[in-house]
Amino acid sequence: MQKNFTQKYKEFLININNLENSYADIINLVLKNSVYVYINQDDIALANKTIKINYKNLQNSKILLEDSYSDIKDNINYLNGCIDKDLQNIELFLRVNASIKNSLLFLSRHIEDSKILQKNDQDELLKARIILKRFNDTKRLQDLAYLNDKDYLLYTNSTDKDVINYIKAFNLHSTFLIKNYPIFINITKKIIQNKAIHQRIHIIKKEFTEVSLHDFKALDKFATILFTLFFFSFLTIIILLIKYQKENMKLQYSYTYDQLTNLYNRRKFELDIENNNKFDKPFLIIININDFRYINDIYGNDTGNILLKDFSKFIGEKIKIFNEKSIVYRLGGDEFGIIFENIIKDRVVDITNKLEQIITSNNFTINSVNIDLNVNISINNVKPILENADLALKQAKRSSISNICVFDEKQHLKQNVQENMQMVKTIKDALAEDRIIPFFQPIVNLQTSKIEKYEALVRLRLKNGEILPPFKFLEIAQKSSQYHNITKVMIEKTIQTARKYPQYRFSINFSMQDILDKKITTTLFELLDENKDTDAKIDIELLESEQLDDMQIVKLFIDKVHTYGSYILVDDFGTGYSNFSYFSELAIDIVKIDGSIVKEIVTSKRKFHMLKSIKEFANGMDMKTVSEFVESRDIALKLKSIGATYAQGYYFSQPLEQPLDDANVTI
C-alpha cells in the first residue's frame, strides 16, 4: 500500500511540474515570437498541444480519486478556465503579431526603397524614419506611451504620381499599425504578466504538500523514506526552475544589452532612468556620430557594424581615463549615451571637450579603410533627462559654431521645436503656392532727390493675406532644406521687377554663409547669366556676420559679381561685428550705415560724429554710403547737409510691393 501511495504521489508531482514547465515554455515562445521576425511557429503550436495534454494528465492523476484530495481536484478544474483563456489570448496574439511584423517589415523596406522621396522631400523621409523608429520603440518597450505623438502620417505637395503612391502606401501601413498596436500591446502584456496560472499552480502544490504530508504521517513506518522522496521531487522542481531561469536570462540579455556592441541598450537606459534611486545626480551626455548613414552607404553595412563595435569599445576604454563613475549605453543606431554620477557641470563639459577631441583625432581603421569620425555631443542634467539631452543634441547639430551643446532650460528648446516644425510647413506651403515675395524699399539719392535703387526684402504672405517679415521665418528656413528655394525665388522675382523698372537698380541680401554655399551662388550666377538684359542692375548686399572663415571664397565671389557690372554693398556697418579689415581685403562699392547710428544723429553728437567719420572713411576708400533708418525730415536734411549720398527709411517710404513709377521725392 505504501509503495502504491508513493507512486501516485510521484505521479502527481511529475504531472503538475510538467504542466508548469510547459506553461513556462509557451510564455518563452510568445516572447520569441514577438522579438524575432522570421520564426517557425510549429514550436508554439506544439507547446499549445503539450499544455493541453499535460493538463489532462494532471486531471487524471490517480491520487485525485482519493477523497482527501477533492479540494485539490476542484482547484485543478478551476485551472482549466485560466488555461483556456490564456491559450485563446495566445491565438489572438499570434494573429496580431503577424500582421504587425509584416507592416513593420513593409515600412522598413519602404523607407529603404525611398529613392522617390529622397529626391523630392528630405524632410518627409526624416519624418518617415522617426515614425518607424517610434513604432519599433513602442514594440520593443511594450509601452504605448511611445506613440503619444499623433503625427504618424506623411504629407506631400508633390503632384508626382510616384511620390503620392509612395506616401499613400506608407500612410496605409502606419494607420494600420496605429489601429492595431493597442490590441497587440495589451494582449502581449496580458499573456506575459498573467500570474493567475502560476499562482493557482502554486496554491495547488501547497495544498497538495499539506494533504500529502498528512497522509505521509499516517504511513508512519515509511514516513521518513517518503519524505526523502518528496524532497527529491522538490529538488527536481528547483533544477527545472533553474533551467528556465537560464533560458529567461538569455532572453533578458537581449532585452538589456545591445546585440551588436554588447553595451547596455536603450531599454536598459530607460529602466535605469525611471528607477529614481539608481543614479545619484546624473549627468547625461549623448554622442552622435555625424553622417553615419553615409558611412553605411559608402562602405556597406558590414563595415558600419564593425565601426559601431570599434567605436563602442573605443568610448568604453577612453572614458576610463577620466576616472569618473560612468555607464555607457547605445541609445540608437549611431547614438551613444554616457551617464556620469556625482559630478559637477564644469567637469562634464571638460570631459566632453576632451572626448570629442579624442574621437575626432582618432583614426578608425576597418578592413584597411581609414574612417575619420565627427561627432555631436549634448550634455544635460535637467529632467526629463533624455528628452532634454535630445533637444540639446539637435541644437548641437544645427550649430555651426560648436559640436557640443549643453542643455539650457532658458533656451526653451522644446517649445521652439514645435513652433519650428509648424513654421517649416508654413514655408513649404508658401513656396508651393507662390507666396514668397519680395518687397522693395526705395533708396534715395539725397543730392538729386531721386530714387535710384531699391532694396529687395523677403516676405512671406500667409494664406489669410498677412505678411510675415523675415525674422519670423528666415532663420528656420535656413535650417531646413527650403532656404535655397527662397533665395532662388527672391532672385528670380527681383530680376523680373528689374526688367519692368529699368530706371532703377535693385539689391538682394546675401549672408556670408550664403556665399560659402556653392548651391546658392551657382543659382545666383545661373540666373544672372540667363537674364543678360538685367544682370548689371542687380546688386548684392552682404550681411556681416561673426565668422568669415574663408576670405578667399568671398573675394572670388565679389570679383565674379563685379564682372556682371553689379555692385557689392555691406549692410549694417557701424555695429555688431563690423570689421575694418574687410575693407582692406574686399572690393566693396557701397557701405550701408547702420540705423542705430543714423536714427540718433540729430539728438546725439557722438552718433553724428561716428556717422561723419564713417562717411569720410568711405569717401577715402572710394565707396558710397547709404544711411539706413532715416525716419524724419530732420535726419534727411542733416545727412544731405554733410554731403551723404544715399538714404533709406520710413521717412521716404516703407517697403512696397512694387517700386514707384515716379522716381522724384521731396525732402
Partner 1 sequence: MLKLIILITIIITINAKEPISPIPLGIDYDEEKALLGKRLFFDVILSKDKSVSCLSCHNVYDGGADSRDVSLGFENREGNIQSPTVLNARYNFAQFWNGRAENLKEQADGPLNNPNEHNMNPTLVEKRVNNSILYKKDFKKVFHINYIKYEYILDAIVEFEKALTTPNSRFDRYLRSEIKLNKDEKKGYKLFKDYGCITCHNGVNVGGNSFQKIGTFIAYNANVKYPDRSQVTHNEMDKNVFKVPTLRNITKTAPYFHDASAKDLKTALHVMAEHNLGIIMKDEDIEHIIKFLESLNGELPTILDED
- Which parts of this chain interact with partner 1 (CB under 8 A)? 35-42, 44-46, 48-49, 52, 88, 91-92, 94-95, 98-99, 101-103, 105-106, 108-109, 111-112, 129, 132-133, 136, 169, 172-173, 176, 254, 259-260, 292-293, 296, 301, 304-305, 332-334
First-to-last alpha carbon distance for the chain, in angstroms, is: 127
**Cβ of residue 24: shortest distance to partner 1, in angstroms?**
20
Contacts of 600 (CB under 8 A, 6+ apart): 607, 608
Report the residue number, 304 or 337, with the smaller CB distance to partner 1: 304
Nearer to partner 1, 183 or 382 (CB): 183
CB of 174 to partner 1, least distance (A): 11
264 or 473: whose CB is closer to partner 1?
264
Among all chains, which residue has been given the C-alpha cell 532572453?
A: 251
User: How does 431-447 read in b/e, with b if 16+ C-beta sit within 10 Å?
Assistant: beeebbbbbbbbbbbbe
List, in sequence order, the alpha helices (H) in 564-655: 580-585, 595-598, 605-620, 633-641
Cβ proximity to partner 1: between 302 and 549 the closer is 302
| C-beta of 98 vs 656, nearer to partner 1 | 98
- Least separation, in Å, of the C-beta of 37 and partner 1? 6
Which is closer to partner 1, CB of 108 or CB of 194? 108
The two beta strands, 404-406 and 326-332, are: unpaired
Closer CB to partner 1, residue 44 or residue 72?
44
We find the least distance from the C-beta atom of residue 180 to partner 1, in angstroms, to be 9
Nearest distance from C-beta of residue 388 to partner 1, angstroms: 23
Do 625 and 618 form a contact (C-beta atoms < 8 A)? yes
Contact between 646 and 455 under an 8 Å Cβ cutoff? The reply is: no
Q: With respect to partner 1, which residue has the nearer C-beta, 65 or 164?
A: 164
Task: Report the SS3 class of residue 458.
Answer: strand
CA distance 567 to 590: 8
Q: Kindly state the DSSP code that residue 662 receives in the 8-state scheme.
A: -
The amino acid present at 203, given as its one-letter code, is I
CB of 240 to partner 1, least distance (A): 24
What is the closest distance, in whole angstroms, from the C-beta atom of residue 112 to partner 1 in the complex?
Answer: 6
Q: Collapse the DSSP code of 375 into the 3-class scheme (helix H, G, I; strand E, B; otherwise coil) and give the result.
A: strand
Pick 110 or 461: Cβ nearer partner 1: 110
Bridge-based pairing of strands 335-340 and 283-289 is antiparallel
Please report how close the Cβ of residue 64 comes to partner 1 at its closest, in angstroms. 23
Q: What is the 3-state secondary structure (H, E, C) of 253-313?
A: HHHHECCCCCCECHHHHHHHHHCCCCCCCCEEEEEEECCHHHHHHHHCHHHHHHHHHHHHH
Shortest gap between Cβ of 155 and partner 1 (angstroms)?
20
Write out the H or E segment, with its range, that includes residue 169.
Answer: helix 161-193
Is it true that the peptide bond before 384 is cis, omega within 30 degrees of 0? yes
Dihedral angle sign, alpha carbons of residues 377, 378, 379, 385? negative
